[in-house]
Structure 1
Amino acid sequence: MQEAVQQRVILQLAVPVPLRRLFDYLPPEGLSPQALAPGQRLWVPFAGRKLVAVLVAIAEESPLAELKPALEQIDSTALFDEHSRRFLSWIADYYQAPVGEVFAAAMPAALRRGRPAHHWAEQWLQLTTEGKGLPDTALTRAPKQQALLQRLLCSGRQSRAHLKAQGFSTATGRALQARGLVEWVAGPTVPPPLPGAEPSPAPKLNSEQQQVLDAMDCSGFSATLLEGVTGSGKTEIYLRLIERVLAAGRQALLLVPEIGLTPQTLRRIAARFPAHSIAALHSGLAEGERAQSWLAAAAGQADIVIGTRSVIMTPLPRLGLVIVDEEHDASFKQQDGVRYSARDLAVVLARDTDVPVLLGSATPALETLHNALSGRYRHLRLCRRAGDAHPPQLHVVPTLHESLEAGFAPQALRHIDDALARGEQALVFLNRRGFAPALTCDDCGWIADCAHCSSKLTLHRRQRQLRCHHCDYRRPLLDSCPQCHSRSISALGGGTERSEELLLQRFASYPVIRIDRDTTASKQALDRLLAPARDGLPCLLLGTQMLAKGHHLPRVTLVVIQDADSGLFSADFRAPERTGQLLAQVAGRAGRGSLRGRVLVQSRYPEHPLLQRLLEKGYSDFARQLLRDRTTAQLPPARAMALVRAECEEPAWAEAFLQDARRFMQSLAPPSPQLLYLGPVPALLERKSGRFRFYVQVIAQQRAQLQPLLAQVSTWAERNTNRRLRWAVDMDAQDLS
């Protein structure tokens, strides 16, 4: 009897539920165990539901005597190879996340819902064994067939769309198939390459760029920080490294922080590598497009894979290089669900696959800079702009006693007028969308607050709405105070809508292009809005931090930063770092071409020491000072930090849960100079979407001290029976709000 139990086939499945373990099932009834392989998806019954699970391992024994069979096999072949399964399991362990939710997060929505992978299959043309052995001159009398053979020999499989884009007819393919030299096979869809056989020429590198390129070795694992001032040509370094990797027959992975940067990145890469397949992965794609790109990447058919943070979990069987552009950007850290850092995972992925990873930024995150300065990462620098570009001139415009017009100092408006008159472009940065961040009554002091969050409602005057930017609660614009019924209602402060209104009146002869979340909600909206600026037309760009990231607009000669003070007085210890990064990135949009650039920084506190250091000595010196301050305060990156979070509609329940969690952790690891506890304390945004939010902060000298402690408190917390309370462990937390 015991022998029969040991010979059972036990499927260990990652089921997408909030429990941190695999679940044992029997194979589906009537299915041969030989048809099952780790990495496949199956339908399974779970708590009265039918869920899509991923087979992680096959065992012979289970601690449970009674097991349910899985319902149905979805995939005949594995979607996740062995390395991907190990990598995703590591993510679950390190971030204390349910392994089933990690596997689910790694797939596009269509595959998570059980759609068959072959739904997006396409026919691909490839050489047969006989075709691979044919001499180069065998078909000289049929030049079109010979050209197609050479293309297949150089680039591997080609889909019908690829062949059409490169000028090959289906008749040519059929002629080669009749000769037995090629064959059609099924595979995932890959976007066709850009039409045209000739790549765009690569610009000549300057001496600094050449030194950086010579220092990069693509033969094995290395982690490198490329710290290059804005406009120094980091993207060209990326392209040269991708070229090396493609020549070796490997895949390149490029992570970008924002969906809005993907179209311009795609254009530049497609122009450089027109014969190669490029797959884009981000949330802005239609469901079918994303599934196709994911399957193409996972099958090794896409040579270059570009995407936002979730792309880091995509299987890439031929991976040869990982690049993280704008590595400092906070959007690389997932703030809910599986709370992973794509930047940090890029290093882990590169180490596990023995390939190089390059982290590029003009304003490196303090964690990355700390690793570079301590010798864990190689540190390469580009200190001057590429081509004829020069660093912009920075000027502070004090505004404390100035009479401002919609947030603009008179000096700023004069400089905008001058830039436009010269046929140049100006960029105005204001990191607040809407017309005004608050609406108040002048008589009784009432302020329009969100009904569900600890925040004020933002006035959107064009839509005549008051809107919460945290939970998206909306209400119509009020004509009178609901408290005292006075009609003396005032909008406090300014946002992009108010600035746009003034600029449209003041500079009516020029296009005013507003870039914020409201104007870029539709697909490709950002790319379309920026088209006049890319074409070099005199115009005014106005926007939030979406304008600060990676855009190359050589006709922008003036940047006006309307409010440089907002992050200097925050309770979040990371706020000065983010403020410095944002200001430096925005300033870097000026003077990226042959024209000189000027940056006007409006500030009510021009003597603030951090602002002075940033403007006078640059981000590099500014960041090193912040690193010294963090070390003195025993804060990350000098120490490791995790948060145990809880939220509930009843604040007392969340606090009580975290008090118990802290007592449990302290019973396992008492407080000491090497292990510090703080809390429970309210999050900076205490109430969001009707739920009160608190956390316990745990700071350790080494990450190795945190991991076993967090694993045990996660197991303890899973016994929580209050369904109205949510909890999470946030390893390497980046946000206290």
Structure 2
Amino acid sequence: MSTASVNDSSLPPVTKPASHWLWVAVSTPAHSSVSEPLSYLSDAPIAPGTLVRVPLGRREVLGVVWDAPPDGAVPDLPEGVTPRSIAGVLQGVAPLDASWRRLTAFTARYYQRALGEVALAALPPQLRDLTPEQMARRIQRKTRKKKDMAGVASAAIHPTPAPVALSDEQRRATLQIEAEDGPFLLFGATGSGKTEVYLHSVQRALEADPRAQVLVMVPEINLTPQLEARFLERFAPVYGDEAVVSMHSGMTSAQRLKSWLAAHTGEARIVLGTRMAVFASMPQLALIVVDEEHDASYKQQEGARYSARDLAVWRGREQQAKVILGSATPSLESWHASRSPSTDDPHGGRYLRLHMPSRIGAAELPRVRLVDMGQQPRGAVFSPPLLQAITERVERGEQCLVLLNRRGFAPVLHCKDCGWKSDCPHCSAHQVFHKIDRTLRCHHCGFTQRVPHACPSCGNVDISPLGRGTEQLEEQLAELLRNVITPQRRAARVARIDADTTKAKGALEEQLAAVHSGEIDVLVGTQMVAKGHDFRRITLVAAVQPDGALFSSDFRAPERLFALLMQAAGRAGRDADYIAEQGGNPPEMWIQTWHPEHSLYTSLRRHDYPRFAAEQLQERADAGMPPFAYQALVRADARTQEAAQAFLTAVSERAREAQLPGLDHVFLFPPVPMAVQRVANVERAQMLIESAHRGALQHFLAAWQSVLHAERANHKAVIRWLVDVDPQAI
């Protein structure tokens, strides 16, 4: 334990008698090598989990009182060091319970981050800035508001919502969830009614315990509004509007604090949120639902690089809460963890797999059609068969979705005379051409400039775009469909939804509402519209350029591609009644590819995820990759690539010299540049660490921290380093 202390005479000394030692988790600077928690004095004992304001250097910061060390020893102060006292307690906020503290401590330990960094990042930003006096005033206002609302509240007793008729598959799944402990992997086809299983399980949990709380997580912010609407419709009549709250980074600081306090006090019975919600303080947690559990968005990519899905499973076990992981395309880790017992593997996996292969009602899965682009006209963006299929759908009043996971008009501008390309001056990447505002933008560092009138290298005025983005698809489809007339006797309308068109507040909701109302005939979008959305009128989905991931250096790329395409296909034909009204033409998924015989597409045509997963798992087992091995990445950012790699080489050599614990079971690969090795004029290198034993890897990483801190002092050109445990991209 370290002691927060001063030996600077300019700082005020301790003036009040204080005899109680406290250990407080605070957010210390990254790589400060200060062990945590820090020690402070208090004139009265304070319970662990209490939020306090404490001095740190010349600042006053928020801290969380932590559990005292097992031996209860008084800190041994170095000579000349004066202990400091806490500045105040945030009254009105109940202490964070032991289960929350264990969750944050485990996260910090497993993902190799400082305890205070994780604990304070898990709290709403506004809470970190409030003084005890400001917090007291806020609590008083909230209490008065509750009393006023109670005085005018209706005394009517709300009935339990009428039960929704479940399909046989849904009923079997819900009965197993009620009867077993889990964790559960709900493997359900797109449109099979997984959300209704979630709602039913939530209802059962809340009915079983009048104080029970439920956490429901989705991978992206844009999926929360429609989910919140369904939960409010189901549960607000019984528990009130205040019982359902959301938590995600798109909310204002005041909104996030309000939701956090509602969950912390138990007022919120249901919390909906993105990955950050896994740290919500929910003392009566009874059920956790992780929807689209395969999604890479559950992995944090800054600071503490935690996996919210994995932490949800850990938290469920620790708080004895049931956990449901749901997906039509589960992650291979979850699929492997839910394997059935066999003669070779008598114990099987630790998850219970629940299978729902059929769509609700008479809806059928879309037929997958592969278009061999080698047999199509040269340079065609849309093959004639696909264009004809889109035209026929639009003329019948149906909607189509065109998927291209690349925004902008073109990935790069190019001069044919001298070979110049629109490279970013600050990154080892191209600037993307955005035609709509005539700019070149780097999607890595954000650098933006106007499109040059001529080639900056040779002066040639004939510079042209290479490749395609969603802007270009939108423009070309609008031109190709300009003479297509819908049953409403109007021209076909094409719209685009991607990160560029949804920047403004409320823009995404407005565009999705236009799709749902039928104002849009063809929707062009990136992966943000390919998953989770319940489009009732879309009957055709087309993937234009999916082949890039087939031959990626990242071993997870095929898994991500299969999930994206299968999830996109699931947007088509979700409403059997609508399909029947339109004449019964089956929904379709079109894929334009140069490799139609690839095994990934063979499995996709059959909607056969188990076959795809079996092939991928066999490849990974043969290569010794996750989930059959455990990995961590150490990344170094420096002023030069040589300095970054030199640092990684040095810490690797120091680890071998010191014979760190676990080293015999760990393999350290040589450092290499990252795929995009320079971002914002910072060079980046990485080194992979791999082990067949999770425990050995963790022991090694924990012992290696001191080496990393010490070696940093010998490499002045290194700006920062970080450890990424269980990386999702290599």
| Deviation (angstroms), 1:342 | 0.1
2:75 maps to: 62
- Native 8 Å contact 1:427 1:560 kept in 2: yes
| Inter-CA distance 611–661: structure 2 relative to 1 (3 Å threshold) | farther
2:199 pairs with one of 207, 229, 239: 239
1:49 pairs with one of 59, 66, 73: 59
- Native 8 Å contact 1:256 1:309 kept in 2: yes
| Deviation (angstroms), 1:291 | 0.7
1:188 maps to: none
Q: Does 1:566 align with 2:509?
A: no
Matches of 1:25 and 1:451 in 2, distance apart? 47
Q: Does 1:700 align with 2:691?
A: yes
SS at match of 1:567: helix
Matches of 1:553 and 1:200 in 2, distance apart? 25
| Deviation (angstroms), 1:49 | 3.3
Equivalenced residues, count: 668
- Cα-Cα RMSD: 2.5
Alignment of 1:585-604 (within 5 A): 585-594=567-576, 595=579, 596-604=586-594
Moved more, 259-268 or 36-45: 36-45
1:469-496 deviation per Cα after TM superposition (whole angstroms, max 9, x unaligned): 1111111111111111111100011111
- Native 8 Å contact 2:183 2:352 kept in 1: yes
2:618 maps to: 628
Q: Does 1:642 align with 2:632?
A: yes
1:567-593 deviation per Cα after TM superposition (whole angstroms, max 9, x unaligned): 111111111111111111111111111
Give the counterpart letter for 1:258 in structure 2. Answer: E
Give the counterpart letter for 1:632 in structure 2. Answer: D
Q: Does 1:80 align with 2:96?
A: yes
SS at match of 1:645: strand
Q: Does 1:261 align with 2:235?
A: no
Instruction: Determine what percentage of the aligned residue pairs are the same residue.
Output: 38
SS at match of 1:306: strand
Alignment of 1:548-587 (within 5 A): 548-587=530-569
| Inter-CA distance 260–199: structure 2 relative to 1 (3 Å threshold) | farther
1:121 maps to: 139
| Deviation (angstroms), 1:698 | 1.1
- Native 8 Å contact 2:276 2:308 kept in 1: yes
Matches of 1:69 and 1:494 in 2, distance apart? 60
- Native 8 Å contact 1:259 1:282 kept in 2: yes
Matches of 2:274 and 2:378 in 1, distance apart? 39
2:463 maps to: 489
SS at match of 2:83: coil
Q: Does 1:666 align with 2:656?
A: yes
Matches of 2:660 and 2:77 in 1, distance apart? 33
| Inter-CA distance 119–386: structure 2 relative to 1 (3 Å threshold) | farther
Moved more, 529-538 or 327-336: 529-538
1:382-425 deviation per Cα after TM superposition (whole angstroms, max 9, x unaligned): 11111221011110011135237772222222111111111111
Matches of 2:492 and 2:146 in 1, distance apart? 47
2:186 maps to: 226
Matches of 2:365 and 2:34 in 1, distance apart? 51
- Native 8 Å contact 2:643 2:717 kept in 1: no
| Deviation (angstroms), 1:222 | 2.2
- Native 8 Å contact 2:636 2:718 kept in 1: no
- Native 8 Å contact 1:398 1:606 kept in 2: yes
1:499-533 deviation per Cα after TM superposition (whole angstroms, max 9, x unaligned): 11122233342332211001111233222211122
Give the counterpart letter for 1:450 in structure 2. Answer: C
SS at match of 1:26: strand
| Deviation (angstroms), 1:607 | 2.1
| Inter-CA distance 557–451: structure 2 relative to 1 (3 Å threshold) | same
SS at match of 1:553: coil
1:594-637 deviation per Cα after TM superposition (whole angstroms, max 9, x unaligned): 12311110112212233333334522211221011000000011
Matches of 1:670 and 1:244 in 2, distance apart? 47
Q: Does 1:107 align with 2:123?
A: yes
SS at match of 2:289: strand
1:190 maps to: none
| Inter-CA distance 548–617: structure 2 relative to 1 (3 Å threshold) | closer
| Deviation (angstroms), 1:538 | 5.6
Matches of 1:725 and 1:512 in 2, distance apart? 46
- Native 8 Å contact 1:123 1:159 kept in 2: no
| Deviation (angstroms), 1:24 | 3.1
Q: Does 1:14 align with 2:25?
A: yes
2:608 maps to: 618
- Native 8 Å contact 2:641 2:673 kept in 1: no
TM-score under structure 1 normalisation? 0.86
Q: Does 1:543 align with 2:525?
A: yes
TM-score under structure 2 normalisation? 0.87
Matches of 2:95 and 2:478 in 1, distance apart? 53
1:257-292 deviation per Cα after TM superposition (whole angstroms, max 9, x unaligned): 000000000001111112331110001101101110
| Inter-CA distance 326–446: structure 2 relative to 1 (3 Å threshold) | same
The runs of 5 or more residues in structure 2 that have no matched partner are 1-17, 340-347, 483-490, 580-585
1:94 maps to: 110
Alignment of 1:198-217 (within 5 A): 202-217=163-178
2:644 maps to: 654
Matches of 2:148 and 2:415 in 1, distance apart? 65
Matches of 1:317 and 1:565 in 2, distance apart? 47
1:688 maps to: 679
- Native 8 Å contact 2:37 2:115 kept in 1: no
- Native 8 Å contact 1:10 1:24 kept in 2: no
Matches of 1:542 and 1:14 in 2, distance apart? 47
| Deviation (angstroms), 1:670 | 9.5
Moved more, 11-20 or 372-381: 11-20
Give the counterpart letter for 1:14 in structure 2. Answer: A
| Deviation (angstroms), 1:20 | 6.1
| Inter-CA distance 25–375: structure 2 relative to 1 (3 Å threshold) | closer
1:33-88 deviation per Cα after TM superposition (whole angstroms, max 9, x unaligned): 13x32222333333433332222134551132434314511412444222111211
Give the counterpart letter for 2:360 in structure 1. Answer: A
Give the counterpart letter for 1:12 in structure 2. Answer: W
The runs of 5 or more residues in structure 1 that have no matched partner are 1-6, 127-156, 174-194
Give the counterpart letter for 1:682 in structure 2. Answer: P
